[in-house]
Amino acid sequence: SPAPGQSVWEVVGPESAFALGFVFHPSDPSVVYAGADDGAGIWKSEDGGDTFNLVSSTAPDMSGYALAIDAEDPDLIYAGCGSGRGFFFSKDAGATWEINNVGLDSFAKRTMISILVDPQDSKRLYAATEGGVMLSDDRGLTWGPIGGTGGPAADPAGRARRSHEVRRPGPT
């Protein structure tokens, strides 16, 4: 049993992969999407995270490294994947998925780390990738790089790939 003030965590799926990306519906807090690695797909909860169901079965071997929702059209879900799969989107709240990598080179497709929908213009998307930062002005139909050359030549040590760290606050 947990110590006073501590919580108990329970696995609600998927049990064979890491959950990497999460995004909540902008107006319905009971709807949350979770992306998993190693082709374990995109999972959706409609009960605030008590249970999750796989919603990416139409896109085999899909991972969900990065997820985003269009606040103007919450049925439009974006997923950035790893393993060279690139960029997916769903127009029907995750029921079906399409892939679109127009303008993404092999480095940008390898792993999408983060996707951001511009809050001022939901047609504009930004994606942090292994190949650099990419921009789309048409909801992910086409992509182009933002500055720099990206790819391994721009970052030979691979530091940009996973440059975040989580630490517990405390004495230094």
Kindly report the pTM of this predicted structure: 0.77
What pLDDT, on a 0 to 100 scale, did the predictor assign at position 31?
Answer: 96
Q: What is the pLDDT of residues 43-82, one digit of tens each?
A: 899 999 888 888 988 777 777 778 999 999 999 999 988 7
Q: Which two tokens stand for residue 84?
A: 């060279």
Please enumerate in sequence order all residues whose Cβ is within 8 A of that of 155, keeping only pairs 6 or more positions apart, or say none: 161
Checking if the pLDDT of 86 tops 70, the result is yes
pLDDT per residue as tens digits for the range 96-129: 999 888 877 766 666 788 899 999 999 999 998 8
pLDDT at 124: 95
Give the model's confidence band at 131: pLDDT under 50 very low, under 70 low, under 90 confident, else very high. confident
Rg of the chain in Å (alpha carbons): 17
Task: Taking the CA atoms of 53, 57, 60 and 63 in sequence, report the sign of the dihedral they define.
Answer: negative
The SS3 call for residue 35 is strand
Mean pLDDT of 158-167: 36
How confident is the model over 1-47, as pLDDT tens digits? Answer: 677 877 777 776 666 667 778 899 999 999 999 888 777 788 899 99
